Amino acid sequence: MAATNNAVLTKNEEIYQHAPSSERNMPWLHGVEYMTADSAGYVYWKGLHIEHCDSPYESSSAKEIQDLAKRCLHLESLGIRPGTETAIWHWNWMKDLTSDHPWLGFFKHAPRLWESDGSLAIVMAENRLAIFTSGNIEFFKSIGTFLESKGYECDPEEVDCDKLRMAGFDTPKEGQKELLDIVDVPLARVVSLLEKYHVPRDLYQIDGRSVPDFTLDEFEDLVEAVGNIEQLEFESLTSGPEVTSKQHSLVKRAQEAGYVRNQFSPCHSSLTKKGKKAWSRLLEEASREYLKVNEYKIRYNRLWGSWVLHHKEVGVCGEYHKRSKAVEVAQKG
């Protein structure tokens, strides 16, 4: 932990040294080292914006500035970068963290928590989203991607809380007074909420960024897998297409990447807008050039919506729904 703390302190010093000279040369606000303010009332710690005060230079603000400096020192001692989010909005949690707290690595990222009936949503950096339900976890690259997977359409300009409320999420109720947020709840009770949903302490190390993107062949396998699952679910077949564990894993991966909805519907495509766009882009690229296999050439024909197998002496040899099938035929000659 000491190495991490030193790294943050060093980084903050660099930020301060590279701040505009007009900021670095400002006198310490109320004599508090590293605390400065500009003419608009914005208060800084080593050049990092922390808070806004209506009258930062008035003597009545001195105690507030001193308290802010103590908060920043506390954050730096934990290896947390001081800022408005950590020193103000999430301070109720940050103040109870210690260097040996088992959840330090989680709370240092200042997560935002939302709850619905049986599910917990954690909004992380860059609006990435983790949804916990019955011990299972799903990752989404954005709140919008999550809503798309549920069949909702939202205005990108809407604030995050309104977007999540569309899907039934709201502020977790952990004993705080009406209208108060989850950040007003003591840290210990918030930890209990996280443990209730089996949230791992190292969530930010496994936040879904490692989910690999899909190749064109995988997209074709995915569409087939989703079709098989839908056929079994909505036609109530006692016998039908077999859905393999590999196909289930593929669909799960696609849901994590935001390509497939989490709940299938007979009225809506199971591919999200993001999934359709990604697949269409790959097909567009495949239609521009031939794939050469032995003496054959394979290319996607957008007009026909199929893969065309072509031989220089014979001409068109066949059309196939999947590229892998066309490749298989070409390999056999």
The proportion of the chain whose per-residue pLDDT surpasses 90, expressed as a percent, equals: 36
Q: Is 85 part of any domain?
A: yes
Q: Is 141 part of any domain?
A: yes
Return d(Cα 263, Cα 119) in angstroms, integer.
Answer: 15
Q: Which amino acid does the sequence have at 101?
A: H
Q: Is 95 part of any domain?
A: no
| 123 and 137 together in one domain | yes
Write b or e for each residue in 97-125: b if 16 or more Cβ atoms lie within 10 A of its Cβ, otherwise e.
beeebebbbbbbbbbbbbbbeebbbbbbe
Task: Pick left, alpha or beta for residue 30 (phi over 0 → left; psi -120 to 50 → alpha; otherwise beta).
Answer: left
Return d(Cα 229, Cα 240) in angstroms, integer.
Answer: 10
| 74 and 147 together in one domain | no
Return d(Cα 257, Cα 247) in angstroms, integer.
Answer: 15
Instruction: Check residue 16 and give its pLDDT.
Output: 44
Instruction: Check residue 4 and give its pLDDT.
Output: 44
Q: In what order do the strands lie in the sheet with 48-52?
A: 35-37, 42-45, 48-52
| 246 and 187 together in one domain | no
Residue-number span of the structural domain to which 323 is assigned = 287-332
| 130 and 173 together in one domain | yes
Q: Give just the sign of the alpha carbon dihedral 145, 150, 151, 155.
A: negative
Q: 100 vs 158, which has greater pLDDT?
A: 100
Return d(Cα 121, Cα 132) in angstroms, integer.
Answer: 6
Bridge partners for 112 per DSSP: 123
Q: How far apart are the first and last CA of the chain?
A: 62
Give the closest residue to 108 by CA, choosing from 218, 177, 7.
7
Instruction: Check residue 15 and give its pLDDT.
Output: 44
Q: Is 227 part of any domain?
A: yes
The proportion of the chain whose per-residue pLDDT surpasses 70, expressed as a percent, equals: 84
Phi, psi at 112, each rounded to 5°: -110, 130
What does the pLDDT look like over 304-317, one tens digit per residue? 888 998 888 888 88
| 277 and 297 together in one domain | no
Domain boundary among 89, 121, 156: 89
Q: 315 vs 184, which has greater pLDDT?
A: 184
| 278 and 305 together in one domain | no
Q: Is 228 part of any domain?
A: yes
| 8 and 71 together in one domain | yes
| 29 and 73 together in one domain | yes
pLDDT at 22 over 60: no
CA angle 111, 101, 103 (to 5 degrees): 30
| 311 and 273 together in one domain | no
pLDDT at 115 over 80: yes
Contacts for 225 with CB less than 8 Å, ≥ 6 apart: 243, 247, 248, 250, 251
Angle between helical axes of 2-17 and 62-77 (0-180°, round to 10):
130
| 196 and 113 together in one domain | yes
Q: How many domains does the chain have?
A: 4
| 323 and 260 together in one domain | no
CB 28 within 8 A of CB 36: yes
What does the pLDDT look like over 206-263, one tens digit per residue? 654 544 567 888 888 888 888 877 776 665 555 556 777 788 878 887 887 778 876 6
Q: Is 94 part of any domain?
A: no
Residue carrying the six token digits 């089996």: 198
- Write down the pTM of the prediction: 0.56
Q: Is 266 part of any domain?
A: yes
Q: Is 152 part of any domain?
A: yes
pLDDT at 13 over 90: no
Instruction: Check residue 264 and give its pLDDT.
Output: 59
Minimum mean pLDDT among 27-31, 76-80, 208-212, 216-220: which range?
A: 208-212
Query: Residue 215: how many CB atoms within 10 A of its CB?
Result: 10
Q: How remote is the C-alpha of 175 from its chain's centroid? A: 28
What one-character-per-residue DSSP string does 130-178 give?
A: EEEETTEEEEESSHHHHHHHTT----TTS-HHHHHHHTT-B---SSPPT
pLDDT at 30 over 50: yes
Domain boundary among 170, 205, 240: 205
Query: Residue 270: how many CB atoms within 10 A of its CB?
Result: 24
Bridge partners for 35 per DSSP: 45
- Please list the alpha-helical segments (H only) found in the chain: 2-17, 21-24, 62-77, 84, 91-94, 104-107, 143-149, 160-166, 187-196, 216-234, 245-256, 273-286, 323-332
| 198 and 222 together in one domain | no
Domain boundary among 252, 268, 284: 284
